[in-house]
Amino acid sequence: MHYRSSFKRYLMLIVAVGLAVAVTACSAQPTPAPATSAPAATSAPAATTAPAAAQPSAGEYEAYQPPYGAFPPVPLKAGSQAACKNLAYKGGKPNIAYMPPATEFNYYIAIGEGVKAQAAKLGADTFMLAPQSGADINGQMGMIQDVISKKVDAIILSTHDENAAAPLVKRAVDQGIAVIIVNSDIPNFPAPVHGVVGYSQRRGTYKMGMYVAGMFHGKAKVGVLEGQPGYHSTERIGGYLDALSQFPGMEVVAKLPTAWNVETGNSAMMDMLQAHPEIQVVVAANDYIAIGAAKAAESLNRKDIAIFGNDGDTTGMEEIYAGRWTGTVNTTPFVMGEVVMQVTYDCLNGKYPGGWVETPVVIVDQTNVLNYLCHPETLYPKPSKTYECPK
């Protein structure tokens, strides 16, 4: 499907809100504006009281420079910051557990590859422990308990249920284990943590939402494929809706939840298109949902639908290159893994003041997707083939 018409009359609005939607094939590095405060949480509960410690000064936050294009940290909400100075670690080679919510999502494996790469540079030991299914909340909670009992030096954690994890996070922090939340922008995790590392979910999809509105001249029937109910789905879908709501002609006609995966993305898309064949655009909470949605659209011979995701999954980018769907917010998971390992290591060594470290994102479509497929060392899984890359 080709959209070649100009959307100049919407460009001024996009500029006015400070988001550039133009994407060029030569822009391999994203340039989001750094946050000046942690994003407002819309559904994460307030944190319990943090261990008593003097909070870092503004100068300490500004002085800390994370690597790989990430921005200096900004404070978490009051009472949410545990102090990196109150740790059991006393030096030597640290043992760090990386605990994503599931192994079924390649995205978390890509973060883990970045974690391993940076750990090797730093001389740290790391291992990954996770259930197979993202729906296995009890399984992940049991694994966290096991890791705490083994007295690791730090836990890099991502979870689909912050409330279930909070008592265990508190136990870990109370025992002097550093806990850094990854792939998140929650400024008030429901128990105090030592840090949060991730991209701004709402800002990333807001940027894509403006891109979508421009592509369609501000007029289209839109379907929304959400993730499982919770903070992350609310923020990602919220960014899309915040952008599209500025264009009265961008009408959201249907919303359906998914379980974040290809299968439920496929079934939800089938249901949505059968109930609302007028849909022209579908925005999804992650790339796995978008991959499933594209399969459904293909099976229904609906080549006229533009589909947008969020992640930067390798398979998703290959499908975008092949024209099966349209674009994604590439949240650079390998880079996120590198950054969170460095932040964790610096927390153990008293160099990181705490706060939320924002990692980079970039809109990817057919015009610039080769910039990423041509660097397989930063992707997991690796691309299915070798691409002819621009020189």
Q: How many other C-beta atoms can be found within 10 angstroms of the C-beta atom of residue 121?
A: 13
Is residue 178 pLDDT above 60, yes or no?
yes
Q: What is the CA radius of gyration of the chain?
A: 21
My answer on whether 94 and 216 are in the same domain is no
My answer on whether 62 and 192 are in the same domain is yes
* pLDDT of 39: 52
| Angle subtended at Cα 316 by Cα 310 and Cα 322, rounded to the nearest 5 degrees | 130
Tokens 């709501």 found at: 245
My answer on whether 226 and 284 are in the same domain is yes
Q: What's the whole-number average pLDDT of the chain? A: 88
Rounded to whole angstroms, the Cα distance separating 158 from 260 reads 15
Domain CATH for 232 = 3.40.50.2300
My answer on whether 64 and 103 are in the same domain is yes
Is residue 309 pLDDT above 90, yes or no?
yes
Residue 111 within any structural domain of the chain: yes
My answer on whether 265 and 306 are in the same domain is yes
Residue 35 within any structural domain of the chain: no
> In angstroms, what CA-CA distances link 239 with 114, 205, 232, 278, 285?
27, 5, 11, 23, 10
* pLDDT of 59: 86
* Span 271-280, pLDDT tens digits: 999 999 999 9
Is residue 12 pLDDT above 60, yes or no?
no
* Span 82-140, pLDDT tens digits: 999 889 999 999 999 999 999 988 899 999 999 999 999 999 999 999 999 988 999 99
Residue 46 within any structural domain of the chain: no
* pLDDT of 51: 44
Token digits for 348? 């153990």
Range of the domain at 326: 8-20+202-330
How does DSSP classify residue 36?
S
My answer on whether 170 and 277 are in the same domain is no
* pLDDT of 50: 42
pTM for the whole thing?
Answer: 0.80
My answer on whether 340 and 193 are in the same domain is yes
Q: Over pLDDT 70: what percentage of the chain? A: 86
My answer on whether 176 and 225 are in the same domain is no
My answer on whether 153 and 176 are in the same domain is yes
* Span 203-238, pLDDT tens digits: 999 999 999 999 999 999 999 999 999 889 999 999
Token digits for 118? 């940076």
* pLDDT of 80: 95
My answer on whether 194 and 80 are in the same domain is yes
What is the mean pLDDT of the segment spanning 360-382?
93
Confidence of residue 55 (pLDDT cuts 50, 70, 90): confident
Confidence of residue 45 (pLDDT cuts 50, 70, 90): very low
